[in-house]
Chain A
Amino acid sequence: MREHERADATGSPIDPRERYPALESRVDRRSERFRANDEANRRSLERLAEALEKARVAGGERARAKHVDAGKLLPRERVDRLLDPGSYFLEIAPLAGHEVSGHASGASVIGGVGIVSGVECLITASEATVKGGAMSELSVVKTTRLSDIAAENGLPSVSLIESAGADLPNQSKIFVPGGRVFRDITRHSTSRAPSVCLVFGSSTAGGAYVPGMSDYVVMVKKQAQVYLGGPPLVKMATGEETTHEELGGAEMHARVSGVSDYLAEDEHHAIRLGREIVAHFAWEKRGRAPLPVVEEPIHPIEDLLGIASSDVRIPFSAKEVIARVVDGSRFSEFKPLYGPELVCGFAHVHGYPVAILANDGILFTASANKGAQFIELANQRSIPLIFLQNIVGFMVGRRYEEEGIIKAGAKMINAVSNSTVPAITIMTGASYGAGNYAMSGRAYAPRFLFSWPNHRIAVMGGKQLAGVLDIIQREAAEKRGLPVDEEKLGVMKQMIEAQVELESDPFFATARVWDDGIIDPRDTRSVLGICLSVVHTRPVEGTMRWGVFRH
């Protein structure tokens, strides 16, 4: 509602928004670079839209039609109806399995965070139109990631189950790691974050332990089938002749076994019951409340498509990004004159205080030291960290080794590793080498990590890697006194460059759940807002305990 801004403007004389100065922007929208970036980024977004559409249709139009004809809601419809009207849905890893051989785009699971009966919940839904919702090993990876989000942030979870269980031909890749799924549910329960399981269809064998382990179970009449072994297996094992409904129907579980707590007449009723259950949690967010007054950035977020370099070798200004993401474009910069390649400072996003670290060039000793100090400050005040990652690496060279850039890098990695405030990482460009680690890459367990479509990730760039290879090969040939086979080296360089290019593509990364998804840069502010709201489910508590710093 537009008028809110005007109403807010007549606020108290001590307006919190006045605390930080607003960033200025020097973006030239008519420049060639801006227009080229904008064009290339829009092309990448089209590619993203196509990939998402493929994930949306999941099992294909025929499988969907069959599902709908059976009188069932499509998995995404189930999720939509479970959510409060107007609620956001932050989808996690929607492109898991994208173009990975043997996997469906989306990895047969839909998952994310949304609001159910006023409570932020982690929601998972079986993509029943793909192989009956059977789990692949990437499904396990994705499910585990979703479960981590619930556990780390203390979110209640709601799962909408209709799954044929493990994808049997791939059982070897699933069986052992898959066990964690059930352990997570009950560990989660111990931490007082309830789990609700709505069973819409098959949930058998191992899968039967999803409802089995959940705190609340709803089964849909004449649809849910929950048993350890189906009629054929039972007949083989004991000779007993039974039907699916007798073995694991919703009525039996609601009236006889007690595996189900509620009997739903149909899918709508099941979703109503799910919403009703969440409503009775008497849930309260225990984290810091955001400021009541939220200003939109003064610079248009649309510009991000022209700002973000489509070629990650060309740097772009981190402050231009910050100015389009934070409340009122207001930013209190820390140590602006020291180690300026790492921009650090405080701001608010959707009213939540944040401490931002953003790359504005490669990391030097000073900038790494500054980053470590800043992370300590954020922990002292229990302020969540936001990393805007665009890093080709740490500076190399004799001078830098001498001044101990390794010590500085180690200091920053130490700080990132031991920090206990939630971190949210956005991959805005390059993510090469140890820079990935220092800037809270995936292995450093940020609460959320999203990528822009122009992003590239690898140990180093393809061209650099090929160049390094070239030098090593020539040195080796020289050592042996042999001539360089230029043709062979050329082919080798081309191959390695192409391979690195492919593997550092954000779609390659997101398909393997290296991130939580590729987002439109223009949604960055909204996505950060959701992440911040989610991390405040529990109190944010920074630490003052660190590993030994090498000074």
Chain B
Amino acid sequence: MTGSIEKLLIANRGEIASRVVRTARRMGIATVAVFSDADEALPFVREADEAFRLGPGPADASYLSVARVLEAARVSGADAIHPGFGFLAENDAFARRVSEAGLTFVGPSPEAIAKMGKKREAKAIAEAAGVPVVPGYAGEDQRLEAFREAAERIGYPVLLKASAGGGGKGMRVARSVAELEAAFASARREAEHAFGDPTLLLERLVERPRHVEVQILGDRHGGLVHLGERECSIQRRHQKVLEEAPSPALDDALRARITDAALRLARSIGYTSAGTAEFVLAPSGDFFFLEVNTRLQVEHPVTEGVYWGIDLVEEQLRIARGEALRFTQAELDERRAGSAIEVRLCAEDPSAGFLPASGALDDFHLPPELRREPWLRVEAGVEADSSVSVHYDSMIAKLIARGADREEARARLRHALGQLFAAGIATNRRFLHALLAHPAFARGELHTGFIDEHLAGGKIEPPTSDARARAAIVAALVLVALRDAERAILPRLPSHFRSHRMGPERIELASGDVRDEIAFTPERDGRFLVRSGAIEARAELVRLERDDAPRARSIRGALTLSLDERRLRVRFAVTASSVHVHLAPETFSFARVSRLPLRAGAGGADAAVAPMPGKILEVRVEAGALVERGSVMVIMEAMKMEHGIEAPRAARVAAIHVSPGDQVEGGQLLVVLGD
């Protein structure tokens, strides 16, 4: 027992690093952040008292490098390490190395981590502790015949899983012998590939299961309590996306049974620190042990939401300092109240199978009055201007709302998500908003296949074309307001004044293949007559507030405007190539179409340039090939859309300057055409 922690190194990044720093600071503990080159500008790096560069972006050269993390601790003089979650959090060898270096590891013992790390072993321990496990097979015999026999005994459908794994990798469902045989080899290969261990196990597949987990906390003096359950049934790609406490599926009797089981299991291994026992809950009310996570969970804030005043990180640090638990189970049970829901905001595209996205945030903004609400908690790893790199998990922030009951928490969280403006990269914000609005969700009818069943696997309806067209008008008005605010000559003259009224000003905006042309006719009272398609409105710009710092990647702020009788205050972010506006609860992003489109390349040769920043998906031509005017030469992905880059004229391709996977800037040369 070290007895004290004076300087804590957080071996993690993003929102969890920020979150640990906050608690440590409140406890009077100095903090050290570690960071990779990809993260150097993220908030957590400057929020800690000091920071240490680990290495380049890829995780194995930075956050997964035990040597570098220990070096950081040595150089900074840290006496304890908090691993957060992911990366080295459940690496028993790391925990051991930390102890060997004379530092305190904020977490359970290396032995506990090791025992729970392998699923088959963990399952055996659970069974021995009298915790129900999913009927299955976890034998040494890894031949197909053994699995076939086990499946016959347990009954189909069954699930094949990697013994060493998690996160859904190597998982296969088989509803018949034939399916089992078909899936077996590839599941082993994937397990081998992902975890370096092809060992599989087999389980009965629980249909329409719920995922329920119990938060436990153990000290080094034999004290052990639970902090109730969390339900994490809403998952995509076998990963949690929304969590809540308490579970709408549990009554007090079932809660008593499931928390008892978790405590039994923890006690049997002498668990210390914060941990989570995960269970599958069948519609029948039967529950089966899944695994123990020997660390803080991403979703721990929902527990803190219903046990108001308890800070799990603080308890972790106290336990690590050797303190005894400060509360009894009865006191905790007394304290439990209300409901809390968390959503994980991820940089990903739900309509494309939740494909992770990377890039930079042109804005990340929640109205300050909302941020001040005591019922809302925002754990963000990013801010406006932050880059989301390809190297790490796609989660960029968590929003947690508390309420007196589930319905209040749900309504609040939905409202907050509707106000959140995350622009510049694809996120699941709109999807989460739709999820929270779904009647089946409101009724609490959850299971792990909820998204596929109710939300078409993420493919939710886009906004109507009328909504888009109206948003385009607002976006164009933002552009007008910004440039008018910068007018040096005659700033009070009506915008686009024409002494002889020879036609309106036109602004063109694109979203994918759709173009909106907005025509503005200034009127003498400073208003505009605005026309776009069939829409006609009188617009007035009322107030422009900018809050971008010098050299920010976007101009951003809020514009107050009137459209006919409606008064709106719209959050916006504008870059050279795009304009984003937030008309709660929708965010609309448009590409700005130049009045003077360039088709000329450098040196006078015709060329194709990227119309906006994006990623090259496909190059369809080769140097020397003949192209027709209008034929697609390159396909790029930008603004969440695919764009075909066409040949401006019939020509022979002189040179190609990009290849698939390249990130390109707006205006960057893609293909040069010859004669």
Interface residues of A (CB under 8 A from B): 1-4, 49, 52, 56, 76, 80-81, 84-91, 94, 112, 115, 118, 120, 263-266, 268-269, 271-272, 294, 296, 301-302, 350-351, 517, 519-520, 522-523, 526-527, 529-530, 533
Contacts and interface: CB of A to CB of B under 8 A. Distances in A.
B669 to A, nearest CB: 14
B480 interface: yes
A94 B502 CA distance: 10
B523 to A, nearest CB: 10
B43 interface: no
Contacts of B489: 115, 118, 120, 533
B488 interface: yes
A367 to B, nearest CB: 31
B602 to A, nearest CB: 11
Nearest to B494: A526
A383 B524 CA distance: 27
Contacts of A115: 489
What 3 A-B pairs have minimum CB-CB distances, sorted nearest first? A265-B600, A3-B543, A88-B497
Identify whether the interface residues of A are mostly helix, strand, loop, or mixed. Answer: mixed
Given A91-B498, A271-B596, A523-B499, 13 more contacts: A1-B542, A56-B503, A81-B595, A85-B479, A85-B496, A89-B497, A91-B499, A94-B500, A265-B606, A268-B596, A302-B524, A522-B524, A523-B497
A91 B540 contact: no
Among B487, B497, B499, max chain A CB count under 10 A is at: B499
Contact of B499 (A2, A90, A264, A266): A90
A145 B542 CA distance: 40
Contact of B485 (A1, A2, A89): A1
A52 B500 contact: yes
Given A1-B481, A86-B496, A529-B490, A76 B502 contact: yes
A118 B542 CA distance: 25
B604 A112 contact: no
A90 B599 CA distance: 31
Contact of A301 (B479, B485, B524, B540): B524
Which of A86, A118, A294, A523 is most buried by chain B, counting CB atoms within 10 A of its CB?
A86
Given A86-B484, A523-B524, A530-B490, A269 B600 contact: yes
A272 B524 CA distance: 31
Contacts of B566: none
A224 to B, nearest CB: 15
A1 B484 contact: yes
B607 to A, nearest CB: 10
Interface centre among A1, A52, A519, A530 (most CB of B within 10 A): A1
A2 B598 contact: no
29 contacts: A1-B484, A1-B485, A2-B542, A2-B543, A3-B544, A4-B492, A49-B501, A52-B500, A80-B503, A86-B487, A88-B490, A88-B493, A89-B498, A89-B499, A91-B499, A94-B500, A94-B502, A265-B604, A266-B600, A268-B598, A269-B598, A272-B598, A517-B500, A520-B501, A523-B524, A526-B497, A529-B492, A530-B493, A530-B497
Contacts of A272: 596, 598
Interface in B456-507: 479-481, 483-485, 487-503, 505, 507
Contacts of A90: 499
A52 B543 contact: no
A301 B544 CA distance: 26
B599 A266 contact: yes
Contact of A529 (B493, B526, B560): B493
A358 B487 CA distance: 31
Contact of B493 (A52, A269, A301, A526): A526
B541 interface: yes
Contact of B502 (A4, A56, A118, A268): A56
A265 B500 CA distance: 32
A52 B498 CA distance: 12
Contacts of A89: 497-499, 502
Contacts of A302: 524
B369 to A, nearest CB: 20
Interface in B512-541: 524, 526, 540-541
Given A56-B502, A529-B493, A3 B599 contact: no
A527 B495 CA distance: 13
Contact of A52 (B502, B541, B598): B502
A266 B606 CA distance: 10
B597 interface: yes
A302 B523 CA distance: 11
B599 A265 contact: yes
B520 to A, nearest CB: 9
A523 B497 CA distance: 9
Contacts of B479: 85
Contact of B492 (A84, A120, A296): A296
A302 B314 CA distance: 69
Q: How many interface residues does chain B have, given as a range?
A: 35 or more
A294 B501 contact: no
B600 A2 contact: no
A56 B502 CA distance: 7
Contacts of A296: 492
A510 B606 CA distance: 46
Nearest to A527: B499
B594 to A, nearest CB: 8
A91 B485 contact: no
A88 B596 contact: no
B478 to A, nearest CB: 12
A87 B480 CA distance: 11
Given A91-B499, A266-B600, A350 B524 contact: no
Interface in B235-286: none
B501 A52 contact: yes
A251 to B, nearest CB: 9
Contacts of B595: 81, 85
A86 B524 contact: no
Contacts of B542: 1-3
B26 to A, nearest CB: 40
B483 A86 contact: yes
B483 A85 contact: yes
A269 B605 CA distance: 13
A519 B502 CA distance: 12
Contact of A533 (B484, B490, B606): B490
A519 to B, nearest CB: 6
Given A1-B541, A265-B606, A91 B502 contact: yes
B119 to A, nearest CB: 62
Contacts of A271: 596
B213 to A, nearest CB: 52
A519 B499 contact: yes
Contacts of B598: 268-269, 272
A217 B498 CA distance: 27
Contacts of B488: 118
Nearest to A520: B501
Interface in B565-620: 595-600, 604, 606
Nearest to A2: B542
Interface string B210-221: 000000000000
Contacts of B505: 85-86
A527 B499 CA distance: 7
Contacts of B543: 1-3
Contacts of A264: 600
A263 B498 contact: no
Contact of B496 (A87, A301, A530): A87
Nearest to A296: B492
Contact of B480 (A81, A86, A530, A533): A86
Nearest to A522: B524
Nearest to A95: B500
A533 B490 CA distance: 7
Interface string B104-116: 0000000000000
A91 B498 CA distance: 8
B498 A88 contact: yes
Given A1-B542, A268-B598, A271-B596, A350 B500 contact: no
Contacts of B597: 268
